[in-house]
Structure 1
Amino acid sequence: MLNDPRSHGLWERTAPPAPATSSLRGNVGADVVIVGGGYTGLSAALHLAERGTSVVLLEATEVGFGGAGRNVGLINAGMWVMPDDFPKELGEHYGERALDLLGNGPYLVRELIEKHGIACELETSGTLHCAVGAEGMTELEERARQWQKRGAAVTMLDAAETERRIGTKAYAGSLLDMRAGTLQPLAYARGLAHAAIKAGATIHTGSAVIATGETNGKKIVKTAQGEVSADWIIVASDAYSTGPWEQVRREQVHLPYFNFATKPLSANLRQTVLPQSEGCWDTKEVLSSFRMDKAGRLVFGSVGALRGTGLAVHKAWARRSLKRLFPQLADVEFEAEWYGRIGMTDNALPRFHRFGHKVIGFSGYNGRGISPGTNFGKVLAQHILGEIAETDLPLPLTEVREPSFRPLKEAYYEAGAQIAHFTGERF
């Protein structure tokens, strides 16, 4: 996108085409205007349009341009926060409700893919959270205990079974989560867009919002060449927010994340690495993730930005890491590279904000956007339709607040990742 092969990499090359859209021109009316063409906005548009609500979605660039089109493609259940910590952070009223929604969230993703025939390389063989050493194993055993007491389909695997499933001796064990899986993230976003348009929603791309207002009781959302009047506004631009709701971006500390994709592996090699196609990530502080796509490419990623000196540093580290994990892949070349940014909140949990009367949004997915974004989009639709009261939402209403020293923290994360990767995997 925008003629930048490092913005969406492999996903842009292999996703089905996006629906035909155009920029907003002139003045139009709708029941709801949605700002942002990622998972939250697209899911909300789809669920509202299916119920006969008139919807206009405005996307500044292209469908899936933000985190929706750049992420690893893991359909995770829950968040980084331990299950028992949800009530501690959100209170008993919201904690278990949010945990239930997010824990079972991947099932809605699967349901929409099946219902609308979305071609997005869905894999339902689960994910493996991989333990690095005894400390990592202790962490995962506690996470498994907390999920299992809630009836979740998670299982601890020992080192031998982990090696059998992944093809490496690097891990002390792993947590298998059968609720989760993988997909092609940009293809999923585009599929949601096709489904929303078919249901009756209107999507305008290249339509950045530059101002808002209110006239005769109607919300007004303005772009460079037009405006939408509506009863409700959904703010779904999240970490890539600009313009009137840039405060949503400023509430989050950006963590850069990159991916490299190998060329398709031969049939023989494919049998030795993730033969069941689970998605994986490890327990390191500067974590690594890896998964397969349908063509047999290994997608390998970690924290860092592929710009400046970071490009060479992170690429060299990725080569060393793959060689350590999978020596048989030492000579396999990378054919794509890309990166984006993850918006991190100060408690690693999403937020629900009311920006004004009938102006609402969820944000802050902390690297877990696929399932939470899809589910929160549906929740917003249900709230607007009067099916869920504000007090019955899965998250409490919170004020937007900018974390202290945000720019310094972002610079630290980018530089720190380079240092960690420059020195890592050398011995």
Structure 2
Amino acid sequence: MKNDPRSHGLWELSAPPAPVTPALVGDIDADVVIVGAGYTGLSAALHLASAGVSAVVLEAVEIGFGGSGRNVGLVNAGLWVMPQDVIAGLGPVHGPRILRLLGDAPSVVFDLVARHGIACEAEPAGTLHCGVGKAGLASLKERECQWRHLGAPVRLLDPAETAEKIGSGAYAGALLDARAGTIQPLAYARGLAAAALAAGARICTASPVVSARREGGRWRLRTGAGSVRAAKVIVATNAYTTAHGDALWPEVRAELIHLPYFNIATVPLDAAQVRSVLPGRQGAWDTREVLTSFRLDRAGRLVIGSVGALRGAGGPVHRQWAARALARIYPQLAGIGFESEWFGSIGMTVDDLPRLHRLADNVVSMSGYNGRGIAPGTVFGRMLADFARGVISEAELAMPVTDAVPARARRAREAMYEYGSAAVHLLTARL
């Protein structure tokens, strides 16, 4: 996208074409206008249109341009934080609600894929959270205990089972979550868009919103060549909310700490190599603070990723790290060639919990997915659609409606993520 091979890499090369979505021209009316064509915005549009509510999506660039088209493709259940920490952070009412919602979220994704025939390489085979050393294994044991207390189908694998599932003895154990899986993330976003269009929604790409003003009891959102007038607005821009001085909702950007994340894909493995790597087709990531994620795509490429940005001096550092990390986990792949690379930004919050805000009267936003965008974005989009059409009240939402609070030392934290991850990878590349 934008002639940048490092924006979406393998996913843009292998995804089916996006549906035709011309830029907005002229003035139109809708019941709900949605800003952002990622998982949240597209899911909201699909569920609104399916219920007979007129919805228009305004996207500044292309479908899935943000994190929805750049992530590794793990369809995870829950959040990064432990279940008990979710309850502690959101309280006894909303904590259990969001755990139920996000625990079931992968099944919602895979059901949508099946119902709408979305060609996105869906593999509902589970995920493997891999333990690094004693500390990592202890963390996984606690996570298993908390999730099993809630009835979740998770199981801690011993070293032998872990080695069999991963195809490597690099980890002390792994937590298998049967609810989860993998998809081709950009293909999923494009498929959601096609389903939303088929249901009657309208999606306008290359249509950045330049102003939002109240006119009587409705909102008018203007782009460069047109406008949409609607009673309600859903802001679903998350980590790709504009940071310019004329930003419409600067509080969303001010609250999010951008964490850069990159992925590098190998050339397709041969048949013997494919059989030796993740034979059950689970996606995987480990318990390191600067984590490693890895999964196969449908063509047998191994995608390895971590925290970091593939720009400036960081590019060669992270590429060298990827080669070393891959050879450490899978010695049989040492020296294999890489085919594509890409990176983007994850919207982090100070407590690693998502945020639901009322930005103005009848304007709501959802953000702060903290690296868990696919399944949460899908069900949060559905939730916002139900809220917009009055199916659920504010008191029934899975998330509390709060005011945005700027993150302290945001720029310093973002620099730490980018340059700190490069330092970690530079060091570990030489160990």
Bigger drift between 209-218 and 310-319 goes to 209-218
* Cα drift, residue 356 of structure 1: 1.1
Q: Report the secondary structure of 1:348's partner residue.
A: coil
* Cα drift, residue 217 of structure 1: 1.3
Q: Name 1:408's counterpart in structure 2.
A: 412
TM-score, length-scaled by structure 1: 0.99
Distance 1:147 1:72 in 2: 24
Distance 1:61 1:307 in 2: 21
Q: Name 2:106's counterpart in structure 1.
A: 106
* Cα drift, residue 170 of structure 1: 0.8
Q: Report the secondary structure of 2:83's partner residue.
A: coil
Distance 2:275 2:36 in 1: 40
- Identify unmatched segments of 5+ residues in structure 2: none
The amino acid across from 1:197 in the alignment is L
Of residues 294, 314, 321, the one that matches 2:318 is: 314
The reply on whether 1:183 has 2:183 as its aligned counterpart is: yes
Distance 2:257 2:110 in 1: 30
CA shift digits 1:226-245 (9 cap, x unpaired): 11100100000111012202
Q: Report the secondary structure of 2:220's partner residue.
A: strand
Of residues 286, 292, 304, the one that matches 2:290 is: 286
Q: Name 1:355's counterpart in structure 2.
A: 359
What percentage of aligned pairs have identical amino acids? Answer: 57
Q: Name 1:115's counterpart in structure 2.
A: 115
Q: Name 2:396's counterpart in structure 1.
A: 392
Q: Name 1:261's counterpart in structure 2.
A: 265
Question: How many residue pairs align between the two structures?
Answer: 427
Distance 1:96 1:150 in 2: 9
Q: Report the secondary structure of 1:260's partner residue.
A: strand
Of residues 329, 332, 336, the one that matches 1:332 is: 336
Q: Name 1:63's counterpart in structure 2.
A: 63
Distance 1:145 1:412 in 2: 32
Q: Name 2:165's counterpart in structure 1.
A: 165
CA shift digits 1:44-84 (9 cap, x unpaired): 00000001111110000000000000000000000011001
* Cα drift, residue 331 of structure 1: 2.3
Equivalent residues in 2 for 1:178-327, closer than 5 Å? 178-242=178-242, 243-327=247-331
Q: Report the secondary structure of 1:271's partner residue.
A: helix
* Cα drift, residue 183 of structure 1: 0.2
The amino acid across from 2:430 in the alignment is R
Q: Report the secondary structure of 1:220's partner residue.
A: strand
* Cα drift, residue 246 of structure 1: 3.0
The amino acid across from 1:305 in the alignment is A
* Cα drift, residue 215 of structure 1: 1.2
CA shift digits 1:323-348 (9 cap, x unpaired): 11111101210000000011100110
Please identify runs of 4+ aligned residues in structure 1 that moved more than 6 A.
none
Q: Report the secondary structure of 1:291's partner residue.
A: strand
The amino acid across from 2:210 in the alignment is I
The amino acid across from 2:35 in the alignment is V
Distance 1:399 1:386 in 2: 21
Q: Name 1:32's counterpart in structure 2.
A: 32
CA shift digits 1:78-118 (9 cap, x unpaired): 00110011221011011100111011110100110011000
Of residues 420, 424, 427, the one that matches 1:423 is: 427
The amino acid across from 1:258 in the alignment is F
Distance 1:246 1:180 in 2: 34
The amino acid across from 2:157 in the alignment is L
* Cα drift, residue 306 of structure 1: 0.1
The reply on whether 1:378 has 2:362 as its aligned counterpart is: no
The amino acid across from 2:416 in the alignment is Y
Distance 2:101 2:285 in 1: 22
Of residues 362, 365, 369, the one that matches 1:365 is: 369
Distance 1:83 1:216 in 2: 44
* Cα drift, residue 425 of structure 1: 3.9
Q: Report the secondary structure of 1:17's partner residue.
A: coil
Retained in 1: the 8 A contact 2:68–2:189?
A: yes
Q: Report the secondary structure of 1:244's partner residue.
A: coil
Q: Report the secondary structure of 2:249's partner residue.
A: helix
CA shift digits 1:238-279 (9 cap, x unpaired): 110122023212211001000000000000111111111100
TM-score, length-scaled by structure 2: 0.98
Retained in 1: the 8 A contact 2:318–2:425?
A: yes
CA shift digits 1:395-422 (9 cap, x unpaired): 1111111111101111111110110000
The reply on whether 1:83 has 2:83 as its aligned counterpart is: yes
Q: Name 2:73's counterpart in structure 1.
A: 73
Equivalent residues in 2 for 1:18-57, closer than 5 Å? 18-57=18-57
The amino acid across from 1:308 in the alignment is G
The amino acid across from 2:221 in the alignment is V
Q: Name 1:124's counterpart in structure 2.
A: 124
Q: Report the secondary structure of 1:91's partner residue.
A: helix
CA shift digits 1:180-211 (9 cap, x unpaired): 00000000000000000000000000011111
Distance 1:46 1:320 in 2: 43
The amino acid across from 1:65 in the alignment is F
Q: Name 1:11's counterpart in structure 2.
A: 11
